[in-house]
A and B are shown apart, each in its own frame.
Chain A
Amino acid sequence: MDKLSKHPSRETDQHDEGWREQYPIDTVKEQNQNRRQFLKTVVAGSALLACGQVALVAAEARRAQVKQLSDKRMVLDVNLSDIADGESILFHYPDEHSPCLLIKISDSKVLSYSQKCTHLACPLIPKAEEGMLFCPCHKGAFDLETGNPLFGPPKRALPRVQLSVDDTGLITVYGMEQAL
C-alpha cells in the first residue's frame, strides 16, 4: 500500500499510525474535489433536473388520459332532498383522485366545484354562510357563486363541475369546466 498523506493538523499526533492502519483513507485524495470535478457534478445535477421535468410531463400526460377516459356521466348516490340547505357533500369526479364538493344553496340552486385549491391543491372547506370556499393552508378563498378567487394566494378560478338535477332530486354529474 502507498504511504498515506497526513492532514496538516495531525502532523504531530503520536498515535497516528495505529488508527491509520485501521482506516486507510488518504486525506489529500479525500479532499481533492477540484473545480473540474465540481463542473461535472453541476452538469450531472442539470441532467437530473431535466429528467425530472420529462417525468412531470409524462405524469401529466397520463393524468390527462385518465381524465379523458373517465369524463362520463355519473349519478351521485345521494338525493338532493337528503341534503340540507347550506350543507355540502364530498364526491370524487372524474376519477378517485379528484375530490369535488357539492353545495346545496336552496332546492333550486346547487353548486359544485373541484375541492383542490388552484394554488397548491390543498382541500377547500365550504363556508356557505359566508359565501365562500376557504383554503386553510395559505388563507385563500373562492367565491361560492362563481368560483373566482376572493383573496389569498390563488389566482385562478376553481374548475366547476357540470351537473343536472331531475324532478326526483337525482343528481347527475356530466362534466367539468376547466378554469380559465
Chain B
Amino acid sequence: MNKIKALEKQNNILSFKITLAMIIFAVQLYAMAMSVRYYMAGESTALWPAALFSILLLVVSISVAIFDRKHKEA
C-alpha cells in the first residue's frame, strides 16, 4: 500500500514538473511574440527586460529538469 502511495506521489510530482515546464514555455513564447512585435515597430525599451525574464524562466525550467533527473536516479 505504501509502495502504491509512493508511486502516486512520484507520479503527481512528475505531472507538476511537466505542467510547470509547459507554463514556463508558454510564457516565454508570449514574451517572444511581444518582443518580435516591438522589434518590428522599432521599439527597443522592452527587449532587455523581456530577454532577462526569459533567461530567468529558462534557469527555472532547467532546474526542474535537473531535479527530475536526480529524482529519477534516486
Contact = CB atoms under 8 A, between A and B. Distances in A.
A3 interface: no
Nearest to B18: A39
A39 B43 contact: no
Contacts, number: 94
A46 B57 contact: yes
B32 A53 contact: yes
Nearest to A45: B25
A116 interface: yes
B41 A49 contact: no
Contacts of B18: 35, 38-39, 42
B7 interface: no
A121 B42 contact: yes
Nearest to A52: B32
Interface residues of A, number: 30
Interface string A2-23: 0000000000000000000000
A43 B36 contact: no
A54 interface: yes
B40 interface: yes
A157 B64 CA distance: 43
19 contacts: A36-B72, A39-B17, A39-B64, A39-B68, A42-B25, A43-B65, A46-B61, A47-B61, A49-B25, A49-B54, A50-B57, A53-B31, A54-B51, A64-B44, A114-B42, A118-B41, A118-B42, A120-B41, A156-B43
